[in-house]
Amino acid sequence: MNRTKIALFIFSMALMACNSTKPTVAEAGWEDMFNGKSLDGWTTKIHHYETGDNFGDTFRAEDGMIKVRYDKYEGDFNDRFGHLYFDKPYSSFHLSMEYRFVGDLHPGAPIFTEMNSGVMYHSQDPRTMLKEQNWPISVEMQFLGGIKEGEARPTGNMCSPGTEIEYEGKIYLSHCLRSSSKTYYGDQWVKAELIVRGDSLVTQIINGQVVLEYTKPQVGGGTVVGYDPKQKEDGKLLKEGMIALQSEGQPIDFRNVKIKNLEP
């Protein structure tokens, strides 16, 4: 082999290395939370039902996605708010997923849940929830979709069932805090990322743009009913907890659900 052929061989090998499908340094450490085929490793809790009862096949693993559907429900929604919990708590992490709203709001679901879902973090374990508890004590990265053209409805907001956060140096007393994101209409996929540093800084990202930051998630406030009083220690900083996908009456799909553990 002459020098020219050797040089071409080395160049081709370098090019193949650059085009390799192996994870890059930036992608290292990511773990898939969903295997694409089943809900193994996840636990359901739906209002009015015991933990583990996936009433009406609400949460489904289909087509490589986690789907939320209500076609097996009889009658109206009846406040059957549900959550699908990953069976491992996290403290400091970077969570990433894509979601899209599909179909119509199930009959009887509250109007505020139209084009509305989210992901809960630092949540109490579903095994500590009572049958008639409506939402988990947790902090939510809320997902909203546009309803009326021209009417702003940002996504990536913060909501606080049984919790509070600090915003701009003081306790934020309202239940939800709007983000700076734009409004997304229809059934387009939206990428949502959540970076949580224990009980300190929380960063929420939509389609690559930081849309909201706040600090010190903690137990407090209202909205949650039907809980065990032992589970609600107001003022307690939330350093870790469960992660859960939400069901509130609006069909939605989730895909590419993955996490990077940021613990040292």
In total, the chain counts a number of residues equal to 264
Q: What is the mean pLDDT of each run of 10 residues along the chain (264 residues)?
A: 45 43 56 97 98 98 98 95 98 98 97 98 98 97 96 97 97 96 97 98 98 98 95 97 98 98 90
pLDDT tens by residue, 192-208: 999 999 999 999 999 99
pLDDT, residue 28, reads: 79
Q: How far is CA 252 from CA 100, 159, 176, 258, in A?
A: 6, 19, 21, 17
Selection from 140, 107, 136 nearest residue 250 by Cα: 107
Element (H, E) at 215: strand 209-219
pLDDT tens by residue, 158-169: 999 999 999 999
Note the Cα 126 to chain centre separation in Å.
16
Question: Whole-model pTM?
Answer: 0.89
